[in-house]
């Protein structure tokens, strides 16, 4: 989802607000964060009212919220965070078992920075939040990047390479498919797909576009979302078109204009997620 400038706090102790009507879920998320990110300060709230009171008593650096709350929903909570007088623009992440359905239906507003599906489990959630508050590189991870605009490609490639990612840039889908097909045909040890993640623009000048590449990967190659994550970049604000991409198998969308921190967070998270075994969070 599109973002404004996000606060950088890698060298400070981030203050994370966890909002959920279930005390059990709040404790579970807080325990995971304290274990994985020991410098994190946790503010637990069970409702929008409690969150508003907490915001009045100090700024937070990141907010996670359930979609359903006792006195409203996660969308309303996100709006409350944005309206807090002293609050800087910070990530607001919806944590819900219905997150994917809401994403596909494009029900999230611009007040919501990102989303997380509970089915991915607590360890994946910790990795997701780590991407915002304490990003860790994955040196050598290969991003197959398809973009026909030289200016956009150079800028985006630099963003990714600054975080130790290896970028394999192709100007068209045809060339990218040749690369992937060569690896599939070689039967490389461990089933190497030729990349660890695919990043593609949806609109390209050749005969094939980003949607065609996505279809080939999910259908012809039969690579699932964990086997080969796909992030699709689009400047198309049409919700139906965005939903179509997600239903076709895109792991997530990166909306233009591209914000570096959000792009890198989404990329690193999908790379780490492909290496994790999911264990669902409680409803």
Q: For 61-74, what is each residue's pLDDT tens digit?
A: 889 999 999 999 99
Count other C-beta atoms under 10 Å from residue 220's C-beta.
12
Residues 114 and 259: beta-carbon distance below 8 Å: no
Reported residue count of the chain is 283
**What is the distance between the alpha carbons of residues 260 and 245, in angstroms, rounded to a whole number?**
22
The yes-or-no verdict on residue 237 having pLDDT over 50 is yes
User: What is the rounded (10 degree) CA torsion for 115, 131, 244, 209?
Assistant: 170
pTM over 0.85, yes/no: no
Nearest to 113 by CA among 60, 167, 165: 60
Farthest-apart Cα atoms in the chain, separation: 60
Domains of the chain: 15-133 (3.40.50.2300), 142-273 (3.40.50.2300)
Residues 160 and 262: beta-carbon distance below 8 Å: no
At 152-179, the pLDDT tens digits run 999 999 999 999 999 999 999 999 999 9
At 12-58, the pLDDT tens digits run 678 899 999 999 989 988 988 888 888 889 999 999 999 999 998 88
Q: Token pair of 114, please?
A: 């990102």
Residues 141 and 166: beta-carbon distance below 8 Å: yes
């Amino acid at each position: 989802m599109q973002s404004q400038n996000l606060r950088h706090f890698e060298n400070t102790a981030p203050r994370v607000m966890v909002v959920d009507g279930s005390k059990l879920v709040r404790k579970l998320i807080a325990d995971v964060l304290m274990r994985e990110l020991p410098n994190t300060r946790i503010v637990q709230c069970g409702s929008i009212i409690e969150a508003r009171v907490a915001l009045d008593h100090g700024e937070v650096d990141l907010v996670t919220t359930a979609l359903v709350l006792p006195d409203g929903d996660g969308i309303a909570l996100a709006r409350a965070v944005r309206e807090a007088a002293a609050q800087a623009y910070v990530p607001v992440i919806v944590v819900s078992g219905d997150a994917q359905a809401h994403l596909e239906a494009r029900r999230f507003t611009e007040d919501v920075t990102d989303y997380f599906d509970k089915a991915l489990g607590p360890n994946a959630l910790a990795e997701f939040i780590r991407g915002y508050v304490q990003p860790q590189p994955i040196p050598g991870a290969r991003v197959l990047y398809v973009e026909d605009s030289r200016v956009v490609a150079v800028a985006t490639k630099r963003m990714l390479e600054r975080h130790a990612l290896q970028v394999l840039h192709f100007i068209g889908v045809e060339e990218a498919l040749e690369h992937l097909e060569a690896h599939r045909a070689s039967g490389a040890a461990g089933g190497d797909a030729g990349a660890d993640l695919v990043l593609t623009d949806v609109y390209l000048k050749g005969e094939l576009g980003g949607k065609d590449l996505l279809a080939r990967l999910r259908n012809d190659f039969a690579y699932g979302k964990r086997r080969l994550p796909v992030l699709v970049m689009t400047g198309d604000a049409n919700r139906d078109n965005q939903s179509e991409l997600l239903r076709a198998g895109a792991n997530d969308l990166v909306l233009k204009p591209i914000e570096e921190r959000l792009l890198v967070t989404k990329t690193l998270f999908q790379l780490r997620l492909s290496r994790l075994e999911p264990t669902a969070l409680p409803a």
